Structure 1
Amino acid sequence: MTDTKPRIAIIPGDPSGIGPELIARLLNEDGVTDAADIVLVGDGHVWEQGAAQSGLPVALAEIGEDAAGTAEGVNWLPMETIAPDDVKVAEVTVEGGTCSLRCLDKALDLAQAGKVDGVLFGPFNKAALTSAGLNAEDEHRYMARYLGFTGYHSEINVLDDLMTTRVTSHIGLREVAERISAEAVEKAIGLAEDTLKRAGKDRPHIAVAALNPHAGDNGKFGREEIDILQPVVEAAQAKQKNVTGPWPSDTVFLKAKRGEVDAVVTMYHDQGQIAIKLMGFERGVTVAGGLPIPVATPAHGTAFDIAGQQQANVGATLQAFNLLVRMARNHRAARAAA
């Protein structure tokens, strides 16, 4: 491995879904091993399953448990997390969730130890993760807890060159307005800015979406824009940050689609997700924003309806890999300079 070429740990996600097939397809894409050296983490039979489901070869060059002996190209760190007979394609199982968590833990261990520069995971099934002992709101909070990270972090959604962050996430709509605070908006802006800079964007343009229809229409439909959002935007601008808004949420994504902004800070989950998925469902990426190590995954789920049918589209996984490589390269350089 060269000084600039990052090393990426890849785990299959839930073995019952399309993750193993997606990773097999990814490894056979042109330029993947030129961009990064790969450490496959997981059971040999799961990777073989992916090869069979995709009809594409997956070479398993075995390395040591601490990634000792990692060479250029594709390497395999063996694990025994699930018996072959316990892999039930297109079914939610405790065993599938256990496999997912154990592989994730190992990949995070490697990243914390500096053995890899980033982690890519195939889609997880949240029901399976929960049954296996996730004991967290989602995998992002699980990862933060596992890493002992107590700083601000949140899921970031990415489509091509556009990122979205959220002021609120997995809560009911009736709770959203009371959770909108200046501090929360500032953190969402900062997360977008920091993540874009880690991906190589020096001065990103960040647009803040309004909460209310027509951006509140001068207070007619709510005062969050007047009392919270506008002051936060003005304070960011006073610090020479490239932040604008609050923009009506039914038009801000038109600006994003035209490439006029690099990120949109949304107020709640579906405000950004609906727009992103309509613009490119098969290219969407999820980044574990704020964590001390780069982590990414395709934004779609395990797709049990097509699992094992050679129909999985590698587009989002390839986008996740390419973004992760950029972030991992910068992470590796920053670690070397520290």
Structure 2
Amino acid sequence: MSPTTAPTTRPRIALTLGDPSGIGPELAAKLVADPANRAKADILVLASAAELDAAAAEAGVEVPHGPTAGPDAVAVVGSDLADQPVARGRVSVEGGRRAMADLESALAVYERGEADAIVFTPLNKAALSLAGMAHEDELRWFAHRLGFTGTTSELNLVPGLTTSRVTSHIPISEVASCISAHKVAEAARLLNTVVAAQGVERPRLAVCALNPHAGEGGKFGSEEIDHIAPAVALLRSEGVDAQGPFPCDTLFIRAREGEFDGVVTMYHDQGQIAMKLMGFEQGVTVQGGLPVPIATPAHGTAYGIVGQGVATLGPTQRAFDVALEMAQRDA
């Protein structure tokens, strides 16, 4: 592949179709069909012209495309697995292989200096695993692929609130053993940096407890006493405005009302359930900590509605806008 863009200072976004077994192609087509999005950035789509045309037809939109990206068209830059048959509406090894191949290609486009950020539409972790992804999720795969050994965390964003996670895609039975003051502090420092980069002068961070009622002084678990509270104390000694640990069942009500700019969660669903209730139509996941700006909608492949043209664009649109903001900050 050799993506091209017209001479410009406009941001350049590499866009993948995600898992083609799901609604990713439809969402990608809807995104780039909007002339307002093409006006914001040069968009490089990792697909063939035939694939993009098919996705556009399924979505009921028209997508102008060619070899060069600009306000009038997106650049179709191909894929190593373009035009390969893929089962639709279910987990498939073919879908996982295509998603992985396109993520690899998107990183290569970025590394060649031909894109400033990456957006990928929804993936399926079971399909990725079938296709050979040995890491717990794509964030750890990205870090391994980039040789990045710094702090990473999936960050979830709705307007006015960002969350980070101490643990992510691991079994609930393993969460408690993976909580430490060091990991809590790392997740909070990353969150503080990210929220500050959004323009918040002194981010107000809340840290979730792990156990019911924040452990009730050790009655329901000691992680708050042994790890989470010491991490909060350490953060405050470093000048980070962190508070907690707070019981999760009431914390997000306070966050929704604007008391905090960011929340550190201990595990995946502790934050994801609240964030999706607060703003599913605008939810975004950022691959936090990586040296590459990467964003994706914070929902899955929605196999049940594949081919119906009814997938909601909101989260993908917001992911595009967030990636654009990150690219412009890094410029």
TM-score normalized by the length of structure 1:
0.90
Question: Which of 32, 50, 53 pairs up with 1:48?
Answer: 53
Match of 2:30 in 1: 25
Give a deviation string over 1:187-211, Cα, whole Å, max 9, x none.
Answer: 1101212222344434321110111
Q: Give runs of aligned pairs for residues 234-249 of structure 1, distance below 5 A.
A: 234-249=233-248
SS at match of 2:230: helix
Is 1:83–2:83 an aligned residue pair? Answer: yes
Aligned length: 324
Give a deviation string over 1:1-44, Cα, whole Å, max 9, x none.
Answer: 654x3211101111121111111111233631232221111222
**What's the CA shift for 1:116?**
0.9
For residues 110 and 297 of structure 1, the distance between their equivalents in structure 2, rounded to whole angstroms, comes to 17
Q: Is the 8 A contact 2:196 2:203 kept in 1?
A: yes
Unpaired stretches in structure 1, ≥5 consecutive residues: 64-69, 333-338
312 and 238 in structure 1: CA distance in 2 versus 1, 3 angstrom threshold = same
Question: Structure 1 stretch 244-253 or stretch 194-203: which is displaced more?
Answer: 194-203
**What's the CA shift for 1:78?**
2.1
Match of 2:164 in 1: 165
Is 1:34–2:33 an aligned residue pair? Answer: no
Q: Is the 8 A contact 1:153 1:290 kept in 2?
A: yes
Q: Is the 8 A contact 1:44 1:79 kept in 2?
A: no
Q: Is the 8 A contact 1:199 1:330 kept in 2?
A: no
Match of 2:211 in 1: 212
Is 1:8–2:13 an aligned residue pair? Answer: yes
Match of 1:336 in 2: none
Question: Which of 46, 54, 62 pairs up with 1:57?
Answer: 62
**What's the CA shift for 1:133?**
2.0
91 and 174 in structure 1: CA distance in 2 versus 1, 3 angstrom threshold = closer
Q: CA RMSD in A?
A: 1.9
Identity of aligned residues (%): 47
Match of 1:290 in 2: 289
Question: Structure 1 stretch 195-204 or stretch 237-246: which is displaced more?
Answer: 195-204
Give the counterpart letter for 1:104 in structure 2.
Answer: L
Question: Structure 1 stretch 100-109 or stretch 30-39: which is displaced more?
Answer: 30-39
Give the counterpart letter for 1:114 in structure 2.
Answer: G
Unpaired stretches in structure 2, ≥5 consecutive residues: 1-6
Q: Is the 8 A contact 2:21 2:90 kept in 1?
A: yes
2 and 207 in structure 1: CA distance in 2 versus 1, 3 angstrom threshold = farther
Give the counterpart letter for 1:53 in structure 2.
Answer: E
TM-score normalized by the length of structure 2:
0.91
For residues 213 and 51 of structure 2, the distance between their equivalents in structure 1, rounded to whole angstroms, comes to 50
Q: Is the 8 A contact 2:155 2:285 kept in 1?
A: yes
Match of 1:103 in 2: 102
Is 1:327–2:307 an aligned residue pair? Answer: no
**What's the CA shift for 1:51?**
0.3
Give the counterpart letter for 2:33 in structure 1.
Answer: N
Q: Is the 8 A contact 1:160 1:319 kept in 2?
A: no
For residues 299 and 71 of structure 1, the distance between their equivalents in structure 2, rounded to whole angstroms, comes to 27
**What's the CA shift for 1:313?**
0.3
**What's the CA shift for 1:249?**
0.9
For residues 156 and 13 of structure 2, the distance between their equivalents in structure 1, rounded to whole angstroms, comes to 20
Ranges of 4+ aligned residues in structure 1 off by more than 4 Å: 70-73
**What's the CA shift for 1:234?**
2.2
Q: Is the 8 A contact 2:51 2:83 kept in 1?
A: no
**What's the CA shift for 1:290?**
0.9
Give the counterpart letter for 2:31 in structure 1.
Answer: L
**What's the CA shift for 1:305?**
0.6
SS at match of 2:91: coil
Give a deviation string over 1:113-164, Cα, whole Å, max 9, x none.
Answer: 2221110001112222222222222111111111121222121222223111
**What's the CA shift for 1:72?**
4.9
Give the counterpart letter for 2:62 in structure 1.
Answer: P
